[in-house]
């Protein structure tokens, strides 16, 4: 598990109702219980930082004290710098316990000169955890030296201080632990690390439910990227939308506008000439390219191919109609084009499984149940567990990511699975699927992993719909949702 995944899971767990305070309590207790397994009560030094890792150390100190250990805890940094609310509360609790009848000694280390060698049978490293960034500075650097030069058994909390939590690389220096106690799942840095630093690794269950990983949640918004301050026009993604027909002018417009609302710089709609003026009238921010006829034909292939050369992703099918020649033209385009594509709506009824399986670039299919049956020739099972199994199998077979739309969206690339339950009954109104396709197309154009773009798009679309329903109830229309998409992106880190 990488560090971003862990941050997301922590936030999603909190959103499910399991507080960060409880997770910290469980983590600290896990550390103490591991120590009970390897040692009788003795003197133990705890070096704790001002973040969540330090908070785990504060909790462990309480449990160790209760079991007769002589605890001396050194806070590396002033208590005013404790950045985690939960850690601060645990520090305050320790401070209240630090009375004459208590064996816990608390030291506040603001300068490296205050650190002195103090031998003990056991040492806990709870200084820096998975949030480690940048070069180590004093007094942290000196604390590492003291720990490594001791004859103590060293226990690292979550990850040894000084090690890159993502790669396991030690660029300067790091704590050399005999035991590392990590939480929920083994971090990628621990998997790659030299055993000299991590020792024996124990993974503790701290109560994070599997649903925090399986289902999307507000924590997934942490995955949204910050825009480069020095970026220029086009650098944040360009989407090409191929759709529209005499009866459906709104669909490609919804795709294009939702893509812009999701952060792309340029949104180009290539559509039949009969709806060009109408789509232009919806939004002056769209670039609208008129094709040759009143529906997409072979005559349009060269122009579409030329437009695709300047696009980072393409959304195909929204409002495109079901003319036979349109289907044949789309098949030729799919054979030639070389950018990631999102296939939605009528295109799922015009294209076929074998063609998509052979496509040389990445594909996201976004069907509802009827479109899924048209494309794969299969009914969607009624039970969720069977639906998941079906989507995984179909995704593997066609070598594509599938986003099956429903009351619970199911997203799979054939190997990974995500479920999304955001959204509401008001979103049965026409156009919400087009908005979803635009959001997903925008994320792909901005460089997100295909699977990630699909489940993030699903979460953002549903959440924007939920925000809309708070103001409009279930009488919302699709164009209302467009205004709420940026509110989700404002939550990015």
Name the token pair of 383.
């039970």
CA–CA distance, 87 with 85 (Å, rounded to integer):
5
pLDDT of residue 3: 87
Phi, psi at residue 409, to the nearest 5°?
Answer: -70, 140
Q: What's the mean pLDDT in 329-340?
A: 94
Q: How many Cα neighbours within 13 Å face the side chain of 399? A: 10
Q: What's the mean pLDDT in 380-397?
A: 97
CA–CA distance, 385 with 429 (Å, rounded to integer):
27
The predicted-structure confidence for 413-441, as pLDDT tens digits, reads as follows 999 999 999 999 999 999 999 999 999 99
Domain 3-214: CATH architecture, name and number where available: 3-Layer(aba) Sandwich (3.40)
Nearest by Cα to 38 from 161, 199, 184:
199
CATH of domain 223-489: 3.40.1190.20
Name the token pair of 359.
């496509």
Residue 187, sorted as left (phi over 0), alpha (psi -120 to 50) or beta, turns out to be beta
CA–CA distance, 304 with 108 (Å, rounded to integer):
66
DSSP H/E element including 478:
helix 478-482
Question: Residue 283: pLDDT above 80?
Answer: yes
**What residue spans in the chain does CATH classification 3.40.50.10260 cover?**
3-214
Lowest mean pLDDT among 36-40, 76-80, 271-275, 483-487: 76-80
- Confidence grade of residue 134 (pLDDT, cut at 50, 70, 90): low
- Using an 8 Å Cβ cutoff, are 246 and 321 in contact? yes
Q: What residues contact 231, with CB distance under 8 A and at least 6 apart?
A: none
- Confidence grade of residue 70 (pLDDT, cut at 50, 70, 90): very high
Question: Residue 493: pLDDT above 60?
Answer: no
pLDDT of residue 492: 59
pLDDT of residue 490: 84
Residue 110: strand, helix, or coil: coil
CA–CA distance, 451 with 10 (Å, rounded to integer):
21
Q: What's the mean pLDDT in 191-209?
A: 96
Question: Residue 395: pLDDT above 50?
Answer: yes
**What does pTM read for this prediction?**
0.93
Lowest mean pLDDT among 18-32, 71-85, 302-316: 71-85
- Using an 8 Å Cβ cutoff, are 54 and 127 in contact? yes
CA–CA distance, 473 with 490 (Å, rounded to integer):
23
DSSP H/E element including 154:
strand 153-157
First to last CA, the chain: 20
- Using an 8 Å Cβ cutoff, are 215 and 8 in contact? no
- Using an 8 Å Cβ cutoff, are 438 and 480 in contact? no
**What residue spans in the chain does CATH classification 3.40.1190.20 cover?**
223-489
């Amino acid at each position: 598990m990488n560090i971003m995944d862990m941050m997301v899971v922590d936030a999603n767990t909190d959103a499910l109702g399991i507080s960060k305070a409880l997770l910290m309590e469980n983590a600290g207790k896990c550390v103490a219980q591991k120590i009970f397994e390897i040692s009788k009560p003795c003197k133990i030094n705890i070096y704790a930082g001002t973040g969540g890792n330090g908070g785990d150390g504060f909790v462990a100190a309480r449990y160790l004290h209760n079991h007769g250990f002589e605890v001396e805890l050194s806070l590396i940094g002033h208590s005013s710098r404790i950045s985690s609310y939960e850690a601060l509360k645990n520090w305050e609790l320790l401070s209240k316990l630090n009375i004459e009848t208590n064996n816990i000694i608390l030291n506040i280390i603001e300068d490296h000169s205050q650190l002195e060698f103090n031998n003990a049978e056991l040492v806990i490293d709870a200084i820096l955890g998975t949030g480690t960034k940048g070069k180590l500075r004093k007094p942290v650097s000196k604390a590492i030296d003291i720990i490594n030069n001791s004859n103590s058994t060293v226990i690292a909390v979550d990850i040894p201080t000084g090690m890159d939590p993502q790669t396991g690389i030690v660029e300067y220096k790091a704590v050399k632990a005999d035991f590392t106690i990590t939480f929920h799942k083994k971090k990628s840095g621990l998997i790659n690390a030299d055993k000299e630093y991590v020792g024996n690794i124990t993974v503790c269950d701290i109560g994070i439910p599997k649903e925090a990983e399986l289902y999307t949640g507000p924590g997934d918004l942490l995955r949204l990227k910050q825009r480069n301050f020095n970026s220029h026009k086009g650098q944040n993604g360009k989407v090409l939308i191929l759709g529209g027909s005499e009866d459906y002018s709104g669909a490609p417009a919804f795709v294009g506008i939702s893509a812009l609302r999701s952060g792309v710089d340029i949104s180009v709609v290539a559509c039949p000439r009969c709806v060009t003026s109408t789509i232009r009238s919806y939004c002056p921010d769209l670039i609208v390219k008129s094709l040759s006829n009143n529906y997409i034909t072979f005559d349009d292939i060269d122009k579409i191919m030329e437009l695709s050369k300047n696009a980072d992703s393409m959304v195909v099918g929204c409002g495109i109609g079901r003319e036979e020649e349109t289907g044949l033209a789309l098949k030729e385009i799919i054979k030639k084009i070389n950018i990631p594509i999102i296939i939605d709506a009528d295109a799922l009824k015009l294209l076929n499984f074998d063609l998509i399986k052979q496509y040389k670039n990445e594909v996201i299919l976004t069907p509802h149940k009827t479109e899924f049956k048209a494309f794969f020739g299969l009914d969607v099972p009624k039970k969720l567990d069977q639906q998941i199994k079906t989507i995984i199998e179909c995704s593997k077979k066609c070598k594509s990511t599938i986003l099956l739309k429903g009351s619970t969206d199911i997203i799979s690339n054939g190997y990974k699975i995500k479920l999304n339950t955001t959204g509401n009954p008001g979103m049965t109104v026409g156009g919400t699927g087009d908005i979803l396709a635009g959001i997903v197309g925008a994320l792909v154009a901005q460089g997100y992993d295909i699977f990630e773009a699909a489940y993030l798009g699903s979460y953002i679309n549903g959440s924007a719909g939920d925000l809309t329903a708070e103001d409009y109830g279930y009488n919302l229309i699709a164009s209302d949702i467009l205004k709420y998409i940026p509110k989700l992106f404002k939550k990015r880190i």
